[in-house]
A and B are shown apart, each in its own frame.
Chain A
């Protein structure tokens, strides 16, 4: 029984984080020869005979499902076929855990994972059926910001080779393609304020800039309190006096503008906290 980890072992944590992040985020094309050998090994480690046929690499999970349906000549529910796919290189987080104990503690019994370790290095997702397996490329592009949040200001943050899956992110927030690809100066400030998702709206404000957003709207400051400003904004003839609370998020240095009700900052704060039963005015700094 291992009672505790030595300081030297704990000092290796970062090595395993770096090693498995590199594997998990790899965008290298699959290596067909090595992927097939690794898949056969994974079956053997699981106590199963190696599959007679291994197909791939397919460009993405959807391309693999199409091939699987054709192979099996089945009309089986495609969602269940997606569920049958396993993560390959993207199983990195668990494989990192076992790799540490295997290498640093020489723990016996983990050799049953040897095939999965190998698969993770040579392909993306894969599907282990009886007698046949299918494997995929990894995504062709993955992009992060400095905080390791999915992020790309000029295109998809995640893209597969076939183009079936292209995902747009700003600072870790999933965005619509037009949010990312439309130049900031062409984004309509009214559309920003109409955005329902708080996080998406925050990223749009960050992109457009709070100064431009407010300068291009017919906007009046009704009340201020600390860093808060209660704004009266003209959105349309029908909504000519929309109330928005402008606030800062000190932890990430961004502005929020949120639709509220009330004639003072305090009333607006109380409106935001209406789901919280309070007998006095809400003070966000106390609650947080």
Chain B
């Protein structure tokens, strides 16, 4: 699952680290955006959207994303 630490901001399980020529950190973009939401929206409302929108999309898409990633990773290490 994606690690999420409440109002501290999202930490994605995957980011653009690791390649020598990386352009930018997608983590940082999402974290900056999360900081904006946190600064402008009361925490209870943030959590309502996390529960009512994000988690519902995540529940369906994450097994899909993670299994693709796991399989690709597994084939690379074979």
Binding site for B on A (CB under 8 A): 1-5, 10, 13, 16-17, 20-21, 24-25, 43, 45-48, 51, 60-62, 65, 68, 72, 74, 76, 78-87, 90, 92-94, 96-98, 100-101, 105, 107, 109-110, 112-113, 116, 127-133, 139, 142, 144, 148-150, 158, 164-165, 167, 169, 172, 174
* B11 CB, nearest partner CB in chain A, Å: 11
* A262 CB, nearest partner CB in chain B, Å: 36
Q: Complex Cα distance A100/B45, Å? A: 12
Task: Please judge, given known A-B contacts A97-B54, A107-B36, whether A25 and B49 are in contact too, CB under 8 Å.
Answer: no
Q: Complex Cα distance A97/B38, Å? A: 12
Chain B, residues 39-50, CB within 8 Å of chain A (1/0): the string is: 011101100111
Q: A87-B14, A101-B41 are in contact. List 7 more A-B contacts (CB 8 A).
A: A2-B45, A24-B57, A24-B60, A90-B65, A109-B40, A110-B36, A130-B23
Task: Please judge, given known A-B contacts A13-B49, A85-B14, whether A48 and B24 are in contact too, CB under 8 Å.
Answer: yes
Task: Please judge, given known A-B contacts A21-B60, A60-B72, whether A2 and B18 are in contact too, CB under 8 Å.
Answer: no
Q: Are B42 and A2 in contact (CB under 8 A)?
A: yes
* A141 CB, nearest partner CB in chain B, Å: 11
Mostly helix, strand, loop or mixed at chain B's interface?
helix
Q: Are B57 and A93 in contact (CB under 8 A)?
A: yes
* B6 CB, nearest partner CB in chain A, Å: 14
Q: Complex Cα distance A2/B38, Å? A: 10
Chain B, residues 1-28, CB within 8 Å of chain A (1/0): the string is: 0100000001010111111111110100
Q: Are A79 and B77 in contact (CB under 8 A)?
A: yes
Q: Are A129 and B72 in contact (CB under 8 A)?
A: no
Task: Please judge, given known A-B contacts A17-B57, A97-B50, A158-B64, whether A86 and B22 are in contact too, CB under 8 Å.
Answer: no
Which of B2, B65, B72 touches A165 (beta carbons < 8 Å)? Answer: B72
Q: Are A86 and B14 in contact (CB under 8 A)?
A: yes
Mostly helix, strand, loop or mixed at chain A's interface?
mixed
Q: Are B16 and A86 in contact (CB under 8 A)?
A: yes
Q: Complex Cα distance A12/B52, Å? A: 10
Task: Please judge, given known A-B contacts A43-B24, A85-B14, A127-B19, whether A139 and B45 are in contact too, CB under 8 Å.
Answer: no
Question: Residue on A with the closest CB to B36?
Answer: A109
Q: Are A93 and B54 in contact (CB under 8 A)?
A: yes
Q: Are A130 and B22 in contact (CB under 8 A)?
A: yes
* B12 CB, nearest partner CB in chain A, Å: 8
Q: Are A25 and B64 in contact (CB under 8 A)?
A: yes
Task: Please judge, given known A-B contacts A84-B19, A86-B16, whether A5 and B45 are in contact too, CB under 8 Å.
Answer: yes
Chain B residue numbers with a CB within 8 Å of A165 are 68, 71-72, 75
Q: Are A21 and B61 in contact (CB under 8 A)?
A: yes
Q: Are B16 and A84 in contact (CB under 8 A)?
A: yes
* A173 CB, nearest partner CB in chain B, Å: 10
Q: Which of A82, A131, A139, A164 has the most CB of B within 10 A?
A: A82
Question: Residue on A with the closest CB to B26?
Answer: A86
Which of B18, B36, B41, B77 touches A1 (beta carbons < 8 Å)? Answer: B41
Chain B residue numbers with a CB within 8 Å of A174 are 67
